[in-house]
Amino acid sequence: MDLALIEEGNGGELVKNTNDLKMIFGFENVPYLAMFGGNVKASTPTTRDSAQQAFDWWGNNLLMPNDTLIQYNSETERALLENPLSSSGRILIENAIKADLSVMSSYVEVTVQTQVVSDDRMEVLITLLKPNNLSSITLIFIWDATMQELSLVPLSVGNPPASGDRIFDYTFDSTFG
């Protein structure tokens, strides 16, 4: 169980359901947080010198300092900002997405497909197959390179919230918004 998190182009919002927060009961939030929840400016180093300032996401050192496999490093966000939407750039971005989503490999099968749909837009299709092949979740992210903006097609969270139903709006990084 988790709070429903959606992306409307400015960094992520929690969703209000009547007078409460909307809940989800699956893995829908993990891809978004894994790809965009770290620090876009730096990844966690494999060895950390305690005397040296860390520029990665503070939670990696606090919450999971000894398990680099589950740390959030936003390789996807960095790859989207640094690579052109070309055939070679698409491959680099797709590899970054797969690296970020490897955090889920122990409990779900992840399939990633990317497609450059125009000179400034990329579509990312992520399918999560739950254990024992009982059900799957498909998420579609659209990256607009010109606006440097991400949007999530809300397939698995349900209907998009009505205007005013966003109750919490947090920008993960200043590049989104």
Q: Domain-by-domain residue ranges, the chain?
A: 2-37+74-169
Which pLDDT score is estimated for 168? Answer: 38
- The yes-or-no verdict on residue 162 having pLDDT over 50 is no
Pick from 10-19, 33-42, 151-160, 164-173: least confident: 164-173
- Judged against a pLDDT cut of 70, whether residue 161 lies above it is answered with no
**What is the average pLDDT across 59-77?**
78
pLDDT of 1 over the 90 cut: no
User: What pLDDT, on the 0 to 100 scale, is given for residue 92?
Assistant: 97
pLDDT at 39 (0 to 100):
75
pLDDT for 52 equals 72
CATH among 3.10.450, 3.40.50, 1.10.4160, 3.60.21 for 2-37+74-169: 3.10.450
Q: What is the mean pLDDT of residues 47-52?
A: 71
Cβ neighbour number for residue 106 with a 10 Å cutoff? 8
Q: Are 32 and 12 in contact (CB under 8 A)?
A: yes
When pLDDT is cut at 50, 70 and 90, the band that residue 11 belongs to is: low
Instruction: State pTM to two decimals.
Output: 0.74
* More confident of the two residues 5 and 147: 147
pLDDT at residue 93 is higher than 50: yes
Q: Please provide the average confidence, as pLDDT, over all residues in the chain.
A: 77
pLDDT at 42 over 90: no
Residues of the chain with pLDDT > 90, as a percent, come to: 24
